[in-house]
Protein backbone atom coordinates (compact mmCIF):
# COMPACT_ATOMS: atom_id res chain seq x y z
CA UNK A 1 0.00 0.00 0.00
CA UNK A 2 1.34 3.40 -0.96
CA UNK A 3 2.02 5.67 1.98
CA UNK A 4 3.79 9.00 2.01
CA UNK A 5 7.32 8.39 3.27
CA UNK A 6 6.86 4.62 3.19
CA UNK A 7 10.00 2.46 3.31
CA UNK A 8 9.18 -0.01 0.53
CA UNK A 9 12.68 0.36 -0.92
CA UNK A 10 14.67 -0.08 2.29
CA UNK A 11 12.24 -1.86 4.62
CA UNK A 12 14.08 -5.16 4.83
CA UNK A 13 17.50 -3.56 5.33
CA UNK A 14 16.24 -1.18 8.02
CA UNK A 15 14.50 -4.03 9.82
CA UNK A 16 17.72 -6.04 9.81
CA UNK A 17 19.54 -3.21 11.60
CA UNK A 18 16.75 -2.73 14.15
CA UNK A 19 16.61 -6.48 14.84
CA UNK A 20 20.37 -6.50 15.46
CA UNK A 21 19.81 -4.19 18.45
CA UNK A 22 17.32 -6.56 20.08
CA UNK A 23 17.96 -9.16 22.73
CA UNK A 24 15.92 -12.34 22.60
CA UNK A 25 13.07 -11.20 24.84
CA UNK A 26 12.82 -7.55 23.83
CA UNK A 27 9.76 -6.05 22.17
CA UNK A 28 10.01 -3.81 19.12
CA UNK A 29 7.69 -0.83 19.08
CA UNK A 30 6.88 1.37 16.09
CA UNK A 31 5.07 4.58 17.08
CA UNK A 32 4.69 5.70 13.42
CA UNK A 33 3.80 2.39 11.80
CA UNK A 34 2.19 3.75 8.63
CA UNK A 35 1.82 1.05 5.98
CA UNK A 36 4.16 -1.37 7.85
CA UNK A 37 6.82 -1.59 5.15
CA UNK A 38 9.45 -2.19 7.86
CA UNK A 39 7.24 -3.99 10.37
CA UNK A 40 6.67 -6.98 8.14
CA UNK A 41 10.34 -7.93 8.52
CA UNK A 42 10.35 -7.91 12.34
CA UNK A 43 8.15 -10.96 12.69
CA UNK A 44 8.01 -13.75 13.71
CA UNK A 45 11.34 -13.48 15.56
CA UNK A 46 10.23 -10.68 17.90
CA UNK A 47 7.10 -9.46 19.62
CA UNK A 48 6.02 -6.27 17.84
CA UNK A 49 3.76 -3.42 18.87
CA UNK A 50 2.65 -0.75 16.38
CA UNK A 51 0.80 2.49 16.87
CA UNK A 52 -0.12 5.56 14.86
CA UNK A 53 -1.98 8.80 15.40
CA UNK A 54 -4.29 8.14 12.44
CA UNK A 55 -7.23 6.22 13.89
CA UNK A 56 -8.65 5.06 10.51
CA UNK A 57 -5.23 3.64 9.59
CA UNK A 58 -5.11 1.55 12.77
CA UNK A 59 -8.74 0.52 12.17
CA UNK A 60 -7.66 -0.69 8.74
CA UNK A 61 -4.76 -2.77 10.05
CA UNK A 62 -6.91 -4.26 12.82
CA UNK A 63 -9.74 -5.15 10.45
CA UNK A 64 -7.42 -6.94 8.02
CA UNK A 65 -5.64 -8.70 10.87
CA UNK A 66 -8.59 -9.69 13.06
CA UNK A 67 -11.53 -10.19 10.69
CA UNK A 68 -9.86 -10.77 7.32
CA UNK A 69 -11.50 -7.63 5.96
CA UNK A 70 -10.50 -6.94 2.36
CA UNK A 71 -10.32 -3.51 0.70
CA UNK A 72 -12.17 -2.96 -2.58
CA UNK A 73 -10.60 -3.54 -6.00
CA UNK A 74 -11.64 -0.10 -7.24
CA UNK A 75 -12.79 3.21 -5.80
CA UNK A 76 -14.21 5.88 -8.11
CA UNK A 77 -13.37 9.55 -7.74
CA UNK A 78 -16.95 10.22 -6.66
CA UNK A 79 -16.74 7.57 -3.95
CA UNK A 80 -13.34 8.93 -2.91
CA UNK A 81 -14.81 12.42 -2.40
CA UNK A 82 -17.83 11.05 -0.52
CA UNK A 83 -15.50 9.06 1.74
CA UNK A 84 -13.51 12.21 2.47
CA UNK A 85 -16.72 13.97 3.49
CA UNK A 86 -17.57 11.10 5.84
CA UNK A 87 -14.14 11.50 7.46
CA UNK A 88 -14.60 15.26 7.82
CA UNK A 89 -17.97 14.58 9.46
CA UNK A 90 -16.32 12.46 12.14
CA UNK A 91 -16.67 8.91 10.83
CA UNK A 92 -13.91 6.36 11.26
CA UNK A 93 -13.69 2.98 9.54
CA UNK A 94 -11.23 0.60 7.85
CA UNK A 95 -12.64 1.68 4.48
CA UNK A 96 -11.92 5.34 5.24
CA UNK A 97 -8.40 4.42 6.36
CA UNK A 98 -7.76 2.57 3.12
CA UNK A 99 -9.23 5.18 0.77
CA UNK A 100 -7.61 8.09 2.63
CA UNK A 101 -4.10 6.83 1.97
CA UNK A 102 -4.16 4.14 -0.72
CA UNK A 103 -6.36 6.00 -3.20
CA UNK A 104 -4.75 9.42 -2.70
CA UNK A 105 -2.04 11.13 -4.71
CA UNK A 106 1.37 10.12 -3.40
CA UNK A 107 -0.15 8.18 -0.50
CA UNK A 108 -0.86 11.39 1.38
CA UNK A 109 -3.99 11.51 3.51
CA UNK A 110 -6.89 12.65 1.29
CA UNK A 111 -4.55 14.73 -0.88
CA UNK A 112 -6.63 14.25 -4.02
CA UNK A 113 -7.74 11.28 -6.06
CA UNK A 114 -4.88 9.25 -7.52
CA UNK A 115 -5.18 8.86 -11.29
CA UNK A 116 -3.41 6.67 -13.81
CA UNK A 117 -4.47 5.88 -17.37
CA UNK A 118 -3.10 2.36 -17.27
CA UNK A 119 -2.96 1.67 -13.51
CA UNK A 120 -5.47 0.75 -10.83
CA UNK A 121 -3.83 2.24 -7.74
CA UNK A 122 -6.61 0.95 -5.52
CA UNK A 123 -6.10 -2.68 -6.56
CA UNK A 124 -2.31 -2.38 -6.30
CA UNK A 125 -2.67 -1.04 -2.76
CA UNK A 126 -5.06 -3.83 -1.79
CA UNK A 127 -2.69 -6.53 -3.04
CA UNK A 128 0.28 -4.92 -1.26
CA UNK A 129 -1.60 -4.54 2.03
CA UNK A 130 -2.88 -8.12 2.07
CA UNK A 131 0.55 -9.49 1.20
CA UNK A 132 2.20 -7.62 4.09
CA UNK A 133 -0.46 -8.77 6.52
CA UNK A 134 0.57 -12.36 6.02
CA UNK A 135 3.51 -11.40 8.27
CA UNK A 136 1.59 -9.16 10.71
CA UNK A 137 -0.75 -11.71 12.26
CA UNK A 138 0.64 -11.33 15.79
CA UNK A 139 1.48 -7.63 15.76
CA UNK A 140 -0.35 -5.60 18.42
CA UNK A 141 -1.86 -2.45 16.87
CA UNK A 142 -3.06 0.59 18.81
CA UNK A 143 -4.23 4.12 18.07
CA UNK A 144 -2.28 6.68 20.08
CA UNK A 145 -0.08 9.74 19.99
CA UNK A 146 3.59 8.85 20.50
CA UNK A 147 3.97 11.69 23.02
CA UNK A 148 1.57 9.99 25.43
CA UNK A 149 3.75 6.90 25.83
CA UNK A 150 6.43 6.23 28.46
CA UNK A 151 8.16 3.05 27.19
CA UNK A 152 10.70 1.05 29.14
CA UNK A 153 13.01 -1.66 27.86
CA UNK A 154 11.93 -1.53 24.22
CA UNK A 155 13.76 -1.31 20.93
CA UNK A 156 11.91 1.58 19.26
CA UNK A 157 11.96 2.29 15.54
CA UNK A 158 10.68 5.74 14.58
CA UNK A 159 9.82 6.84 11.06
CA UNK A 160 8.26 10.27 11.68
CA UNK A 161 7.34 12.92 9.11
CA UNK A 162 10.68 14.24 7.88
CA UNK A 163 11.64 17.83 8.56
CA UNK A 164 11.37 20.02 5.47
CA UNK A 165 9.18 17.58 3.54
CA UNK A 166 5.46 17.49 2.91
CA UNK A 167 3.58 16.11 5.88
CA UNK A 168 1.08 13.26 5.95
CA UNK A 169 -1.72 15.79 6.36
CA UNK A 170 -2.17 19.55 6.65
CA UNK A 171 -1.09 19.38 10.30
CA UNK A 172 2.45 20.52 11.10
CA UNK A 173 4.61 17.93 12.81
CA UNK A 174 6.63 19.32 15.72
CA UNK A 175 10.11 18.03 14.85
CA UNK A 176 11.79 19.78 17.77
CA UNK A 177 9.41 18.17 20.24
CA UNK A 178 9.97 14.79 18.60
CA UNK A 179 13.74 14.86 19.16
CA UNK A 180 13.19 15.88 22.78
CA UNK A 181 10.97 12.85 23.27
CA UNK A 182 13.57 10.58 21.60
CA UNK A 183 16.24 11.84 24.00
CA UNK A 184 13.98 11.02 26.94
CA UNK A 185 13.10 7.57 25.60
CA UNK A 186 16.76 6.78 24.93
CA UNK A 187 17.48 6.71 28.68
CA UNK A 188 15.54 3.45 29.10
CA UNK A 189 15.21 2.13 25.55
CA UNK A 190 17.17 1.67 22.33
CA UNK A 191 15.75 4.19 19.88
CA UNK A 192 16.47 4.23 16.14
CA UNK A 193 15.16 7.05 13.96
CA UNK A 194 14.75 7.30 10.19
CA UNK A 195 15.43 10.81 8.89
CA UNK A 196 17.56 12.75 6.43
CA UNK A 197 19.23 14.75 9.22
CA UNK A 198 19.31 14.86 13.01
CA UNK A 199 20.54 17.13 15.85
CA UNK A 200 24.26 17.07 16.61
CA UNK A 201 23.91 14.80 19.63
CA UNK A 202 22.77 11.95 17.37
CA UNK A 203 24.99 9.70 15.27
CA UNK A 204 24.46 7.99 11.92
CA UNK A 205 24.40 4.18 12.07
CA UNK A 206 23.30 3.54 8.46
CA UNK A 207 22.70 5.49 5.25
CA UNK A 208 21.77 4.84 1.64
CA UNK A 209 21.29 7.11 -1.36
CA UNK A 210 18.35 6.92 -3.73
CA UNK A 211 16.60 8.99 -6.34
CA UNK A 212 13.60 10.97 -5.20
CA UNK A 213 11.30 11.75 -8.14
CA UNK A 214 8.56 14.38 -8.14
CA UNK A 215 6.92 15.06 -11.49
CA UNK A 216 9.66 15.81 -14.00
CA UNK A 217 12.29 16.55 -11.35
CA UNK A 218 14.59 14.06 -9.65
CA UNK A 219 17.32 14.38 -7.08
CA UNK A 220 19.52 12.15 -4.97
CA UNK A 221 18.50 11.96 -1.33
CA UNK A 222 20.14 10.06 1.51
CA UNK A 223 18.09 7.98 3.90
CA UNK A 224 19.73 7.64 7.31
CA UNK A 225 19.23 5.91 10.63
CA UNK A 226 20.21 7.74 13.82
CA UNK A 227 20.65 6.93 17.49
CA UNK A 228 21.62 9.13 20.41
CA UNK A 229 25.39 9.33 20.91
Q: pLDDT per position in the chain (229 positions), as tens?
A: 555 555 778 899 999 999 999 998 899 999 999 999 999 999 888 999 999 999 999 999 999 999 889 999 999 999 999 999 999 999 999 999 999 999 998 888 998 998 877 889 999 999 999 999 999 999 999 999 999 999 999 999 999 988 765 454 546 789 999 999 999 999 999 999 999 999 999 999 999 987 654 444 567 789 999 999 9
Helix (H) or strand (E) holding 15: helix 11-20
> Mind giving me the DSSP string for 32-68?
S-TT-TTGGGTTTTSEEEEEES-HHHHHHHHHHHHH-
Please tell me the predicted confidence (pLDDT) of residue 217: 53
The pTM (predicted TM-score) of the whole model is 0.90
Q: Taking the domains of the chain in order of start, what are their residue ranges?
A: 11-228
Please tell me the predicted confidence (pLDDT) of residue 38: 95
What fold characterizes domain 11-228? Rossmann fold (3.40.50)
Q: How many residues are there in the chain?
A: 229
Please tell me the predicted confidence (pLDDT) of residue 1: 55
Measure CA of the first residue to CA of the last residue in the chain; give whole Å. 34
Inter-residue contact 94 to 60 (CB < 8 Å): yes
Amino acid sequence: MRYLGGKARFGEEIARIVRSKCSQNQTIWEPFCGACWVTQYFTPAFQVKCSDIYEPLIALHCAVQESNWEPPDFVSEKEYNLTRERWLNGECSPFIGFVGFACSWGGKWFAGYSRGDDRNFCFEAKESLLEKHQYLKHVIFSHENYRNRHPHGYVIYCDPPYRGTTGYSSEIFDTRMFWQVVRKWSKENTVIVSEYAAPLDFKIIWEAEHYSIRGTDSKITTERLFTLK
